[in-house]
Amino acid sequence: MSNPAHTTATTAEVTIWSLEQTSPDDLRPAAVPKGDVRIVRSEVPLPEFSRFLYTAVGGDIQWTDRLTMTYAQWQEALDRPGAETWVAYENGTPAGYIELDPQDEGVVEIMYFGLIPAFRGRRIGGHLLSHGVARAWDLAERWPERTPTKRVWLHTCSKDGPHAMDNYLRRGFKLFDTKVELEPEAATPGPWPGAAR
């Protein structure tokens, strides 16, 4: 009989790609999808809503880095000047989101981006990414204390959806770094325990 205290966590090899735009002219917007699709800024920094989006979008692709954050830590992340969450809705239902993280010297990172699984493959992702990147480029217009944006960047990895990299490249992002890491394999709960497939 094995002792659970001595079991070794399994790891997986994950490729991480970093991509950037260095001018607003780099952005190549996607077509607007048909139907009632709207993108709205979530202007009330609300950890409950942010955690819902994070788990609903990332539950099946092993987003785990924020799951251990306390309510106060989540609120602190959302309250930073210039941090923005833009949410795509289809027929009034949240379909996905993009979270912008302002950094020093006019840099904005796309911290999180994705769609809830039920909305993938419906041409919403390219439109949401286009809108979010445009908002990263004009962030200082809404936050005058921020330096005007000079660079927008993000990273994606081999755990993300099969169309993620293609979407970024089609929107005008260029690859600037690739690395391979070993990461522990972790079960993700999805929006509620047991929801991940």
Residue 42, domain member (yes or no): yes
Q: Phi-psi region for residue 183, left (φ > 0), alpha (ψ -120 to 50) or beta?
A: beta
Q: What is the pLDDT of residues 3-22, one digit of tens each?
A: 444 445 688 888 999 999 99
Residue 189, domain member (yes or no): no
Q: What is the pLDDT of residue 1?
A: 40
- Check: CB of residue 39 under 8 Å from CB of residue 88: yes
Q: What is the pLDDT of residue 6?
A: 45
Residue 5, domain member (yes or no): no
**In this prediction, what percent of the chain has a pLDDT beyond 90?**
73
Whichever domain contains 49, its CATH number is 3.40.630.30
**In this prediction, what percent of the chain has a pLDDT beyond 70?**
89
Number of domains in the chain: 1
Query: Residue 85 sits in which domain range?
Result: 12-184
pTM of the model: 0.89
Residue 4, domain member (yes or no): no
Torsion of CA 83, 138, 42, 29, to 10 degrees: -120
Residue 20, domain member (yes or no): yes
Q: What is the pLDDT of residues 99-117, one digit of tens each?
A: 999 999 999 999 999 999 9
- Check: CB of residue 129 under 8 Å from CB of residue 71: no
